[in-house]
Amino acid sequence: MKILTIQDISCIGQCSLTVALPILSMCGWETCILPSAVLSTHTAFPEFVCHDLTETMPDFTAHWKKENIKFDAFYTGYLGNEKQIAFVRDIFQELGTEQALTFVDPAMADNGKLYPAFDLHYAEAMKELCFQADVILPNLTEACLLTDTPYQEQYDSDFIDSILKKLKASGAKIIILTGIGYTPDTTGVMIAEEQQAIYYSHKKLKKGCHGTGDIYASVFTGAYLHSRNIYQAAKLAADFTLQCIENTVNDPSHWYGVNFETVLPSLANNLK
């Protein structure tokens, strides 16, 4: 199976493509990349250098079309602007095999706020990409933006159910809603497909780490393509992400990401 992942590459920082490429490869898939931008580090560093690749992306795909290259799956992460979102929608239609699956992580917001580079016009464009995808993996802030729902820091199961219903009504097929916790010491994921919704929770660590959303989405995608059911893939991704954070919390020098590389052998074992 050949999968194309489309997102930025932060040369230092353990996120986006530097996470997706090794994880999907560990899962056994031929992983191809289309960078949306190249950054010297991720954006949590005080300063960084960024080169936008919006105008380069069509040249790459034109070459692939000429070579008649097709992909069995697509997985998107951080996309830099509305033009890239529209371009990715075209890629899904033009470069996929007949049964190609699409996974979209609408990486645009967290903690009730859009990322500084984005506005509501971007969120509107992301809706179109998400609601044509086979699987979406939003956090709660992103799910609120996708459904025009005011964000709530405190919520209950009724609020989450209403979000899931709105996403389904808009066209979402499989929804993996991440970062959902009903108690201060737990977090988890809501897994929704058709009329069924299942919640998987685990302990919540006090320390947050940059890039964990990318790790989760990459593991879920890789595991789901192994013909695992949705719940198994979502659980495996959550457990692995927690394991990566636990592997990092006692290393104060590793503030910029999670030490996921040394945990990859356990992922390989679990996939067996």
Provide the token pair at 244. 């990566």
Confidence category of residue 253, pLDDT binned at 50, 70, 90: confident
Structure confidence at residue 119 (pLDDT): 96
User: Cα angle at 13 between 205 and 73, to 5 degrees?
Assistant: 90
Average pLDDT of the residues in 42-69: 94
Domain that holds residue 142: 2-271
**pLDDT 10s digits, 79-120:** 999 999 999 999 999 999 999 999 999 999 999 999 988 999
DSSP 192: E
**pLDDT 10s digits, 186-212:** 999 999 998 899 999 998 887 777 889
Number of domains in the chain: 1
DSSP annotation string for 103-139: EE---SEETTEE-TT--HHHHHHHHHHHTTSSEE--B
The Cα–Cα gap between 116 and 48 comes to 15
Which of 41-45, 194-198, 226-230 shows the lowest per-residue confidence on average (mean pLDDT)?
226-230
Structure confidence at residue 205 (pLDDT): 82
Confidence category of residue 59, pLDDT binned at 50, 70, 90: very high
Element (H, E) at 65: helix 57-66
Output the domain CATH number for residue 170.
Answer: 3.40.1190.20
Instruction: Classify 204 in phi/psi space as left (phi over 0), alpha (psi -120 to 50) or beta.
Output: beta
Structure confidence at residue 227 (pLDDT): 75
Mean pLDDT taken over the chain? 94
Structure confidence at residue 210 (pLDDT): 83
**pLDDT 10s digits, 143-176:** 999 999 999 999 999 999 999 999 999 999 999 9
Which of these, 22, 14, 67, lies nearest to 44 by C-alpha position?
Answer: 14
**pLDDT 10s digits, 9-38:** 999 999 999 999 999 999 999 999 999 999
Of the CA atoms within 13 Å of residue 228, those in its CB half-sphere come to 20
pTM score, whole prediction: 0.95
The Cα–Cα gap between 86 and 68 comes to 21
pLDDT above 90 covers a percentage of the chain that reads 86
Element (H, E) at 231: helix 230-246
Provide the token pair at 234. 């979502």
Compute how many other C-beta atoms are within 10 angstroms of the C-beta atom of residue 223: 24
The Cα–Cα gap between 27 and 38 comes to 25
The Cα–Cα gap between 221 and 21 comes to 12
User: Cα angle at 103 between 240 and 211, to 5 degrees?
Assistant: 40
